Chain A
Amino acid sequence: MFSGYDFDVIQRSAGYLFRDGMTFTLTLTALAMVGGIFFGTLLAMMRLSKFRLLSLAAGGYVNLMRSLPLVLVIFWFFFLVPYIGAWIIGAKDPVKVGSFLSCLITFTMFEAAYYCEIMRAGIQSIARGQVWAGYALGLNYWHTMGRIVLPQAFRNMLPVLLTQTIILFQDTSLVYVISATDFLGAASKVANRDYRLVEMYTFVAVVYFIMSYGLSTLVKSLQSRIAIIR
């Protein structure tokens, strides 16, 4: 039944698919995860702040990001970032921003909203007494957060953070809308060039499935190990 298909195209294009495409996808995922968790944690701290202005600003940002479709945000940032960059440095012409950098900024800012909600739940899961104990010892807000609350919140939320990262890994494929060459984008280019759409998209699906499923299995085993430690 596969007589009409040419699966050799996969082997022929594997170098391009993985060296260019998958590298783009994984680098973007990893950096957006690190940036997203960093800014997400800051946002979570702001949302839980007793200063109303901070919590309102962070809440507004998170709600805005979570109410917009990702594709729209990718588009929007791709066309807007050059102008924002120009405005920041005071240049006349739009700044040239590569598609990778544009994607990275977009995903970091978008995912920060989701990581924020995870970290917020994590921070709130830490008993109030822990904060009291930190303050009672004379530790200030930053030390109490950095050494007592966040490490525990992070550990409690690790499985959820990783699950969100798997979603991020899949979502990075949406960068095809700005013609960036991620794994899907690379495959799509080969598919169209050689007219091997079924073969390439099937292969892409299999690879995404294996990687995502493998990662989520890992998360599950991690989850049960954390449960034992606790």
Chain B
Amino acid sequence: MKFHGTAHKYGRDIDTDVIIPARYLNTSVPEELAKHCMEDLDPEFVSKIEFGDILVAEENFGCGSSREHAPIAIKSAGVSVVIAKSFARIFYRNAINTGLPIMESPEAVEGISDGDEVEVDADAGTIVNVTRGETYRAQPFPPFVKEIIEKGGLIEAIKEKVSTR
């Protein structure tokens, strides 16, 4: 998987309540959720994002609630991949399960500034900052997790198990 876009950079502890406020959780329609993505943190977010852009954040991205509406909103808003120094654990699982690519790379987050042009090769685990001519390494997924991603998400991965029951 390869991605290419403009980086939009935010701080640490970006919680699921600002990613998608609970006042919109009376729906699970991805397009509806996308309209309000990050609005309490940055009301301009949705209008700034071009399809394929890259969300960059410091530590503990996605902390708080278990709402899967959060990765769904980010993905539907057009973000191709989230790069952070670390992810909150429920968000980490939810992103994998719903097919939102995420990468853990403290050095990339240090090196990337808001507005930089960035290229990501998720399989190779490399992040290239085109604007600055720098390359960073990301943590590879554990093989078990990679298998889920390769099968197209958790539901696809367990279909076989369900059909043999």
Answer whether A and B are interacting partners. no
Interface residues of A (CB under 8 A from B): none
